[in-house]
Amino acid sequence: MTTSHITPSFKFEIPAIDDQHSQLIDLITRLEQGVNGFLPNMFGVLEELQKYVREHFSFEESVLRKHNYPEFDEHKHEHEVFEAYIKHMARRIELGKAELRLDVLKFLKLWLTRHIQGTDRKYAEWFKQQGITIEPCAPTGDTP
């Protein structure tokens, strides 16, 4: 069972995106609960988080590319840095070289909330200005 910890300031009134952000925050919250001893399958949830992060970033990137968003490269770069960090962390945990600690999860959540409130909000506002609607499913094979 998960609880949405997403606050109104995270909401862009774009349901497809708002739902995905909410899911991401919930996954990290579940991991935080796991660190406190309430989650039996921590590693499974961490894998789920990695997978969902990739799915969400892919979705955003495909939408931004499709509409020629002017700050696409910078946005994608932020995604890449975050993903590389999670991948590195998960690998170290898998190899037994690190533990999933609360401060690491707090860092993940902080990064994500800042990204949503800053970098993501920028594209949401740009899309609104342009009168572009984001559909729930990103079209595939949309390269010109």
Which residues here bind Fe ion, judged by CB under 5 A? 60, 120
Q: How far is the CB of 38 from Fe ion (least distance, A)?
A: 27
What one-character DSSP code corresponds to residue 139?
A: P
Q: How far is the CB of 24 from Fe ion (least distance, A)?
A: 8
Residue at shortest CB range from Fe ion: 120
Residue 107, phi then psi, degrees to nearest 5: -65, -45
Nearer of residues 26 and 120 to Fe ion, judged by Cβ: 120
Nearer of residues 26 and 34 to Fe ion, judged by Cβ: 26
Alpha-carbon distance 139 to 134, whole Å?
Answer: 11
Q: How far is the CB of 121 from Fe ion (least distance, A)?
A: 9
Tokens of 124: 């949401």
Residue 21: C-alpha distances to residues 30, 41, 73, 84, 121 (Å): 14, 22, 20, 19, 12
Nearer of residues 47 and 74 to Fe ion, judged by Cβ: 74
Q: How far is the CB of 9 from Fe ion (least distance, A)?
A: 14
